[in-house]
Chain A
């Protein structure tokens, strides 16, 4: 017998369930007066640097039906590509941009709307630049472990073409599942949980 490594194991995940709103967006589901606002509901203010954009995200199940009880969190760099996080050692991020947002899908339409800024490029491990992207984390009833993926931008063709994560996708027909389509200042992004258009989800 060798010595024990004395490691613990990560707590196993359990679904967020149908009532995730009570805990994470109580004001959205009518539980007022406990918190002044729902966390992550507002991402930008007048002083935030960068191009204002909107994201319109839906999550679709294996029949193509939008989930009406999902919750999406996003995490992104500021306009200069810096994260507002202690682990960001390259410089101070925009103090007017927290970088994290949270939105429950609309209970009737399944639509999630974020108002944010276009992130700058962030370096990959080898120093080359990743294309601008936003990290998504999706939970819902029926999802046993939160799903991790990214949203890239349709008008960043050149950067997308050299992105090291997109480059790792073996089946190139699946790359567009990570690219949001721009219409005006709005990016449309459908996340497909299953099927021919299943979104590329990450294990990272």
Chain B
């Protein structure tokens, strides 16, 4: 695995912007019960990034299989496809400076159209789809763009309150250029009323922050008679310019 994207650019070596922890959900969100015993209680040790946080692994496009970004077919029997509403999810990986992040590895996972995960711990009544595994991955292009094809996941009940339901969502895991940018989040769908009732979503204090996790229906990006499209941009931590050979990077 070697760097391919952005290899003609001088690598950036600055420290990442301080993470705004008031924008993220706090560790302890009691209405999401599992967080109660899994949330650190002591103050975090703060320090500016060292090389251990500034550096990070690079995943090359060579590792990708042909169907990695096609969840409709990557687990399906030959000639068959997953059941459900066919959608395309696309967007860009950006950093807080608004710059596209090329070469970012994105990994996705989700329930099937009925809201059931292919996992031995999931016992929901909705059936498994023999043609749906639920995982995919992509690497962002030069402008930070990515896309994949899937079916819209169903909402499902989960053991938290007596009657809590997760909104339809797709899990995203993202690698940027430094290990300190590592992020896992979830994408929700425009117009879903369950978003505003979900204890996991509501752990995020600011409504404006929640709205950044809601993908927009984009009719202009649909494939007529095939799939609707949802646009979802992801923002990773930005990085400061660093002194490089006594000149500021980029000057």
Contacts and interface: CB of A to CB of B under 8 A. Distances in A.
Nearest to A137: B182
A26 B135 contact: yes
Contact of A16 (B45, B119, B184): B184
A145 B184 CA distance: 8
A184 interface: no
B184 A130 contact: no
Looking at chain B's contact residues, is the secondary structure mostly helix, strand, loop, or mixed? loop
A12 B25 contact: yes
A87 B74 CA distance: 34
- Give the interface residue-count category, chain B: 35 or more
B210 A12 contact: yes
Nearest to B178: A87
B52 A98 contact: no
Contacts of B23: 9-10, 12
A148 B183 CA distance: 11
A160 to B, nearest CB: 15
- Give the interface residue-count category, chain A: 35 or more
Contacts of A124: 50
Nearest to A40: B57
A146 B19 CA distance: 12
A30 B58 contact: no
A189 interface: no
Contacts of B201: 14
Contacts of A174: 42
B213 interface: yes
Contacts of B185: 11-14
Given A87-B11, A145-B25, A203 B44 contact: yes
Given A7-B98, A13-B185, A75-B57, 18 more contacts: A8-B98, A10-B235, A13-B184, A14-B171, A14-B186, A15-B35, A22-B118, A22-B135, A29-B120, A34-B68, A67-B38, A86-B177, A87-B54, A98-B57, A123-B51, A143-B35, A165-B50, A203-B44
Interface of B: 1, 3, 6-7, 11-13, 19-21, 23-27, 29, 32, 34-42, 44-59, 63, 65, 67-68, 74-75, 94-98, 107-109, 117-122, 133-137, 171, 173, 177-180, 182-186, 200-201, 203-204, 209-210, 212-213, 234-238
